[in-house]
Amino acid sequence: MDIQSSDMGLVARVANLSKHYGRGDHRVTALDDISIGIRRGQFTAIMGPSGSGKSTLMHVMAGLDTATEGRVWLGDDEITHLGDAELTRLRRRRIGFVFQSFNLVPTLDVMGNLRLPFELDGRGVSAVDRERIGALVHALGLSGRTSHRPHELSGGQQQRVAIARALATQPDVIFADEPTGALDSRTGREVLGLLRAAVVQQGQSIAMVTHDPVAASHADRILFLADGRIVADRGPMTPEQISSAMLGLEAVAV
């Protein structure tokens, strides 16, 4: 019998994962035999040169894309061969997403955006959920903004709404794709502080793809990819240490 992800303290896991795009002469290997897990209650950064496979790895782990070879688990549940409808249900129930472009629904106000994951899942917002959403609105400094639409908010405020939305359903894991990519550095630091607080105070598990050494320096663990492989798996590092590790990888990639 397989060892369970939960026994290993992992919220998401891939084994011997490869992902190829195209065929024949046009075949691109985006991921090349990767085996890795995202640890529960940790903030994990995924770094690497452009084209190294970061987004592809995140998309496969989050059930947004499928593996060519290998196996994928969300918690103890293998998702390798699930169909679109099942993956969609699983994502809504168990995964939170934070994207560079915020991905809020422009026609809904802040509260409408925060309630949306519950409504899409067909379960409605319970009294306990309402209380949790209220606490998040307060903690993320969004009180007084709940009836604003996204275009009436700054980029940093929109990303805080996206973080509140990701946290509201208490997902098993949050996947963040360049969450500070569209923000100035001060606002970006605030957003990273909020993600970090979700890990430290609520025990959330977060995996974040980023190019930014400062963003990655907020993580407990940094995975470095190059050419579709994990080439280093490190504990916390300073921005300077991360930058020099990246320079080494880029030199190899050239």
Ligand X SMILES: Nc1ncnc2c1ncn2[C@@H]1O[C@H](COP(=O)(O)OP(=O)(O)OP(=O)(O)O)[C@@H](O)[C@H]1O
Chain residues binding ligand X by CB under 6 A are 21-22, 28, 30, 48, 50-56
Measured from the CB atom, the residue of 66 and 146 that comes closer to ligand X is 66
Q: Shortest Cβ distance from residue 147 to ligand X (Å)?
A: 35
For residue 91, what are the CA distances in angstroms to 2, 59, 63, 88, 254? 23, 11, 7, 5, 36
Q: Shortest Cβ distance from residue 52 to ligand X (Å)?
A: 4
Residue 16 DSSP symbol = E
Radius of gyration from C-alpha coordinates of the chain? 18
Measured from the CB atom, the residue of 13 and 54 that comes closer to ligand X is 54
What residues does 10 pair with on adjacent strands? 39
CA–CA gap between residue 217 and residue 240 (Å, rounded) = 9
Measured from the CB atom, the residue of 28 and 135 that comes closer to ligand X is 28
Measured from the CB atom, the residue of 60 and 137 that comes closer to ligand X is 60
Q: Shortest Cβ distance from residue 35 to ligand X (Å)?
A: 17
Q: Shortest Cβ distance from residue 21 to ligand X (Å)?
A: 3
CB 214 within 8 A of CB 136: no
Q: Shortest Cβ distance from residue 103 to ligand X (Å)?
A: 16
Tokens standing for 235?
Answer: 């504990």
Q: State the CB neighbour count (10 A cutoff) for residue 33.
A: 14
Q: Shortest Cβ distance from residue 249 to ligand X (Å)?
A: 11
Measured from the CB atom, the residue of 53 and 150 that comes closer to ligand X is 53
3-state secondary structure of 110: helix
CB 16 within 8 A of CB 35: yes
Measured from the CB atom, the residue of 111 and 215 that comes closer to ligand X is 215
CA–CA gap between residue 106 and residue 122 (Å, rounded) = 21
Quote helix, strand, coil % in the chain, to nearest 5.
Answer: 40, 25, 35
